[in-house]
Amino acid sequence: MTRHLSTFEPATGALIAELPIGDAAREVATARAAWSGWAATPLTERIETLRRFAEIVRTRAEAFADLIARETGKPLWEARTEVDTVIAKVAISITAQAERAGERVSDQPGGGRMALRHRPHGVLAVLGPYNFPAHLPNGHIVPALLAGNAVVFKPSEKTPATGAFLVECYHAAGVPEGVVRLLIGGPDEGRALAGHDGIDGLLFTGSARTGIALNRQFAERPEKILALEMGGNNPLLVWDDPDLDAAAALIVQSAYTTAGQRCTAGRRLIVEDRLYDPLIAALTRLTDRLIVGAPHDEPAPFMGPVIDNDAAELLDMAFGKLVDMGAHVIRSLERPIPDRPFLTPAILDVMDVTDRPDDELFGPVLQVSRTRDFADAIGQANATRYGLSASLISPSRERYEQFWSGVRAGIVNWNRPTNGAASSAPFGGIGWSGNHRPSAYYAADYCAYPVASAEADQAAATIPVGLR
């Protein structure tokens, strides 16, 4: 009897779809059988196929955005921007493929050539997250396909319908069905896929806890590529004399976009002491105006619910723990609809909290501290195992240069939010934020391996020393 995975709308609880749970071994075998044919397909044909994929997504954009909005709970306007990034990823990846994994041939002194070419790994597993269920896995899959790999994609069990829609777009564009395989399932299917001997690598976006488990699992398999994009406990510093209303807007964009469910979300706000009161006043005025609602509500909400009731309850518990540890509530984390995972944007002053947990609270919770000393502010920013994103709001370039050189993060911004990273730049972090394999523009680096070749048209060699 076939088992099914059900997916529901976070905003309403309505059933979206019931999808049959797959078998990891069968999907890997199918991809393995199809891989060599795809790898032998000329790069120009692979490029044209992926360009058709972008056009297929463009023609289905509104239906795709509607599904993403319903399955994640994010506002429809935000779901539309996610579809736009899926489309844009193709052109960016084609450019990156040529720049970072293209063929290079150079003449060598004394004759002959040095050639650099790249080869695909084979079958790559892709594990996708629920917060950007199309954009983030697509960011692995498109460069993997361009490089000549086959892919077995397991979407998050919380957003399987979006994953199925994405795969159907690849197939409609002419990517052979064996080359992109969809594995529906939960943690058991994910573990079976990650542990299957038939994969040549795994590309992961998700929590640090899962990423660390995968790192341990792959520790004795150095022949398999492992690219980990994990979480962040990202700092946002406000210093000197910025426009406070603009600063408040940047803080809100950092902390509460996607209901705080971004790995780059600003989670820790560190404020110059003298700016604290006026900045908090500006920030609370703005957060009190934010609309929290369902994806298709009018007027459009700024943020929707978190992914499900379990996530909402975990955030509520973490918020309560910080309050018990001495945090002062500036704006409480509230659930306006008790049986649905809508949460209001929360702000906590954590100056009186000792031994604050270094946890990624994946939701709309902002922790605020203050200090008079900028070096101490950088020290607070670096007081985390993570190292994904950090941002400074200040009118001083000198201050930014000090911040840039002192903070530990893979993304360091100035007068911009902590989130919203460009796909035309590398993306990734240090520490618990990943394993130093930046994605986005640099994804081509881990989707193929370089082969260096010394070449000559004729064999010619002598042994000038050491002969009798």
**SS (HEC) of the chain:** CCCEEEEECCCCCCEEEEEECCCHHHHHHHHHHHHHHHHHCCHHHHHHHHHHHHHHHHHCHHHHHHHHHHHHCCCHHHHHHHHHHHHHHHHHHHHHHHHHHCCEEEECCCCCEEEEEEEECCEEEEECCCCCCCHHHHHHHHHHHHHCCEEEEECCCCCHHHHHHHHHHHHHCCCCCCCEEECCCCHHHHHHHHCCCCCCEEEEECCHHHHHHHHHHCCCCCCCEEEEECCCCEEEEECCCCCHHHHHHHHHHHHHHHHHCCCCCEEEEEEEHHHHHHHHHHHHHHHCCCCECCCCCCCCCCECCCCCHHHHHHHHHHHHHHHHCCCEEEECCCCCCCCCCCCCCEEEECCCCCCCCCCCCCCCEEEEEEECCHHHHHHHHCCCCCCCEEEEECCCHHHHHHHHHHCCCCEEEECCCCCCCCCCCEECCCHHHECCCCEEHHHHHHHEEEEEEEECCCCCCCCCCCCC
Catalytic residue among 9, 71, 78, 229: 229
Is 263 catalytic? The answer is yes
Catalytic residue among 78, 263, 272, 447: 263
Is 334 catalytic? The answer is no
Which sequence positions are flagged as catalytic? 229, 263
